[in-house]
Structure 1
């Protein structure tokens, strides 16, 4: 029971962190459909539309007209689970644990004059859903996880001169999650543990854009860490918990990590634009998870080492303007996973991954742009060798891949 509580509480933190560029989990880098078409290469320097409010708020200075942009991305993941072993020695492993997930986004930018612009964005920077079947062989290590963060970002940018712009926006972030695990109960049906929690916390997004020449610009964006204190409850049910069955108030301190994105955009000629970028994310903040439980002695304080490491992601992309109405995009990205072989569990069974993307922009008029994008990613084979303090083990090899589809509409007033 103690181990199951701990694993479930840890997953609410690890799940919340398992994002960035469809990275470290089947989750979210989809804050821009135009950016999705180039695998997010040039994210902090492209400033093509109102979605720059997330990619680099300084890029709002390049938008000459009032603009609104709405979009949606859908993620469909597939997993092949093989070479399984461990307690209880049987159970299913069909791999259909990630339901197709929709990720919405919306932005509004208003230039005030030649120097100032303001805007607001709503997007989903973090999220995870894994939902294994009831008889999953690894159910004692976690069989249901749902965590998401929704962010609202009011933003302002200022253009010093023809070359240098800056932008800043506080982020208001709402996190909520639900995690479930099974607990063995001998010959009786499995017991269950369910934890739910939520919190609202503030961070910020800061960016600098420097136009080296009229054809070349470089950008840097800093997304701050965010400190959460999730408050909720845990429900224990089933014979395994005896008189301790019931609900307990619970809290969990969590920091989502900061990241620095640097990129360059170069307009080669009237038709070709090239993009390159790299992002460093400080996943090493997740050294250990400490859970505080009210009235649940001897479980009032529980901790476990995670030992995640910092990661780099890299991307290259290109856009080709066929004519005034049509633009084609493509990109290639590589993204490291912060997890390690010692602590990796079925909740976040991810490894290093590669993604290729294709995009299309249609401008039927000067006021309207329709963006479409498709991404396919695949991971290296990822091994799970997970044993908890009760001696229950789950071993498997995961082959993960995912398809991403995106559509957005931008309108300029």
Structure 2
């Protein structure tokens, strides 16, 4: 019940399509449309527009004009589910709605050394909704979690070769999680548990950019861990708790979203062709378990509704990407990329909230600059995952009555589309 719910509650951090999102776990990649076109290869070394505030804050030193970049991406997911529950129900593949990921950045050069900037973006997220009759409803009926990050940023160029950048991140998370409770053994229909909560926490983003040769740049970016202490309310609707049926209890969950390190290379073959490559390491092993503490009345202390814990045992992951761009003329640039991304989940603890596996992503993109002041970027990505299995078994007799068991095979894929506008002043 809540355990499943809150496991994702923060283990995520944006409301945007769990396993179908274009990054591992519940992380999102869609912070740059120009980067999306090359499969996010060269994320830390490209610095093509103001979205470098996220990709590598040191890259602001390459932007010689004040500029703003605004845009968004949409994820259209498809899931084929073959499964069953000990309590029956449908296996509907439409558990991820179409979702949007907004972004916005601003960069202003101060002089030959200093630049300042600001970014608003979504680094993590989750949305799944199985419906009231789905076989997975007892293990994760609905998950809607969102993290929005605000990042003031500064960069300093030591010379024309080396620059650094830093930005503290102000991260707000909020979410709603729900699961059904079986009540057939007392002659009633399903009960329900709903959890809502939020928090604000601080992190940071730091990067280094090196112009190694006239045509080759190296970038290294570190995104810090963020430690959340989520507080909210848990509402339990079940006749099993007698007079407390429908009451709300204070709930707390401590969870950390992982740090990551991205290293990438951008190499200009000539005036038209540019190659990109990059790797990202993410410390998902921080997510060992999710434990929710509820402030329940004395009569419910020691019950399944007071302390709920769920094993996750996620592991660290690597993502690798390669890409290329071709400058057709002064107005048009074409892009493509391919990436592979490990899943942090394991076969024993995988949940229907994040039924994700290792994935591959193919991307296409284009940039159109009708004049020197404006660029419009568009991108498309297709993601497909290896088939994954979920095998949720109750750990106690009480959990068996309330949730039963759930086994399913997931075949996940998704289309991602995005567009952004960069305007230079």
8 Å contact kept, 1:59–1:167: yes
Residue aligning to 2:345: 339
SS across alignment from 1:61: helix
Match of 2:146 in 1: 148
* TM-score, scaled to structure 2: 0.93
Cα distance, 1:75 vs structure 2:
0.5
The CA RMSD measured in Å over matched residues stands at 1.5
The answer to whether the aligner puts 1:325 opposite 2:331 as a matched pair is: yes
Contact 2:20 2:414 (8 Å CA) reproduced: no
Counterpart CA distance in 2 for 1:262 and 1:410 is 25
- Residue matched to 1:162: 160
Counterpart for residue 423 of structure 2: 411
Deviations 1:332-364 (A, max 9, x none): 000001011111111111100000000000000
Q: Which runs of 5+ in 2 are unaligned?
A: none
Contact 1:59 1:209 (8 Å CA) reproduced: yes
Structure 2 CA distance, aligned partners of 1:200 and 1:19?
A: 24
1:16 aligns to 2:28 (yes or no) = no
Match of 1:303 among 301, 309, 316: 309
Q: Which residue of 2 aligns with 1:364?
A: 370
* Residues in 2 aligned to 1:269 and 1:66: alpha-carbon distance in whole angstroms: 27
Provide Cα deviations, 1:135-159, integer angstroms capped at 9, x if missing partner: 0011110110000100000000000
- The answer (yes or no) to whether the contact 1:53–1:121 under 8 Å persists in 2 is yes
Residue range with higher mean Cα deviation, 42-51 or 234-243: 234-243
Q: Which residue of 2 aligns with 1:281?
A: 282
Query: Which residue of structure 2 aligns with residue 77 of structure 1?
Result: 77
2:50 aligned counterpart, secondary structure: coil
Alignment check: 8 A CA contact 1:19 1:28 kept: no
Return closer, same or farther for 1:279/1:164 CA change in 2, 3 Å cut-off: same
Structure 1 residue 94: deviation in Å?
1.9
Question: In terms of mean alpha carbon deviation, does 223-232 or 386-395 score higher?
Answer: 386-395
Residue in 2 aligned with 1:386? 392
Flag structure 1 segments of 5+ consecutive residues without an equivalent: none
Match of 2:116 in 1: 118
Which residue in the other structure is 1:86 paired with? 85
Structure 2 distance, partners of 1:319, 1:385, is 43
Asked whether the equivalents of residues 68 and 411 of structure 1 are also in contact (C-alpha less than 8 Å), the reply is yes
Give the Cα–Cα distance (whole angstroms) in 1 for the partners of residues 256 and 290 of structure 2: 10
Structure 1 residue 19: Cα displacement: 8.0
What is the Cα deviation at residue 292 of structure 1? 1.9
Shift of 1:290: 2.2
Cα distance in 2, alignment partners of residues 195 and 160 from structure 1 = 49
> Which moved further from structure 2: 98-107 or 291-300?
291-300
What is the match of residue 192 of structure 2? Answer: 192
Figure out how many residues of one structure are paired with residues of the other and give that number.
408
Q: Which residue of 2 aligns with 1:109?
A: 107
